[in-house]
Amino acid sequence: MKKEKESATQRRLKRAALECIASQGFEGASVNEIVVKAGVSKPVLYYYYRNKEDIYLAILADSLADFGQRLEKVAGEDLPPMEKLVTAVKYCFAYIEDSPEKGFLILDYWARSGYRPMHEETAGGFERIRLLIEAIIREGIKAGDYRPGDPIRYARHLLGMIHSQIMFIYRFPDSAPYANVEEFVDLFLRGLRSDPA
């Protein structure tokens, strides 16, 4: 990006790109479509972004930063670890429900990256989310609510379950289980609780 402060034009370009990519996937979305939807010319897009992937990564970085900031607030709440974890997972599903395009973008990037190294800013965004979930789990282990174990591994397992559930929601939107988050978390926690019931 060539400018420090984001302009109204950049915001329009990002919004247009987000809509195009969310509806057609990264490969299906075209620069032509993005500029038409944003109401600008190609040279304007190329003034701010090198190519389609550059704007895609900028939107992804914004989405991960926003998601991380909101999750950080949940992690900082004065709640018992169990309630905090349920709240964090509820937030993950609510974010996807409120911002389906951004949720799609995050999942799309995850799927597209495969075994290739992630871009530094993107990797940092995903790592921040994992660290926040890990911190909540670490609190639960310290409080005796969860059995002793590796909070890094537990956080990865939980995020993998969330990721799979969100992919299922995108594939089968009529069966979206947003009202059933407690059951989802309970399923995960049965193996994590110090006193499995």
| pLDDT tens track for 48-83 | 999 999 999 999 999 888 889 989 999 999 999 888
Residues 95 and 175 grouped into a single domain = yes
Residues 173 and 93 grouped into a single domain = yes
Among 9-18, 31-40, 122-131, the least confident range: 122-131
* CATH number of the structural domain spanning residue 30: 1.10.10.60
Q: Kindly state whether residue 94 falls inside one of the protein's structural domains.
A: yes
pLDDT over 50 at 35, yes or no: yes
Q: Kindly state whether residue 195 falls inside one of the protein's structural domains.
A: no
Structure-token match 């800013």, residue found: 121
Q: Kindly state whether residue 132 falls inside one of the protein's structural domains.
A: yes
- 62 class by beta-carbon count within 10 Å (0-12 exposed, 13-18 middle, 19+ buried): middle
For 103-151, the pLDDT digits (tens) are 888 877 877 777 677 778 788 888 999 999 999 999 999 999 888 899 9
Give the model's pLDDT for residue 34. Answer: 97
Residues 40 and 85 grouped into a single domain = no
Residues 65 and 45 grouped into a single domain = no
Report CA-CA distances (Å) from 50 to 24, 33, 56, 88, 175.
Answer: 21, 16, 11, 36, 39
pLDDT over 80 at 170, yes or no: no
Residues 90 and 153 grouped into a single domain = yes
Q: Kindly state whether residue 175 falls inside one of the protein's structural domains.
A: yes
Residues 87 and 175 grouped into a single domain = yes
SS3 call for 193: strand
Residues 41 and 69 grouped into a single domain = no
Give the model's pLDDT for residue 193. Answer: 61
Q: Kindly state whether residue 196 falls inside one of the protein's structural domains.
A: no
pLDDT over 50 at 190, yes or no: yes
Residues 66 and 6 grouped into a single domain = no
Q: Kindly state whether residue 197 falls inside one of the protein's structural domains.
A: no
SS3 call for 194: coil
Domain region containing 155: 60-189
Residues 44 and 64 grouped into a single domain = no
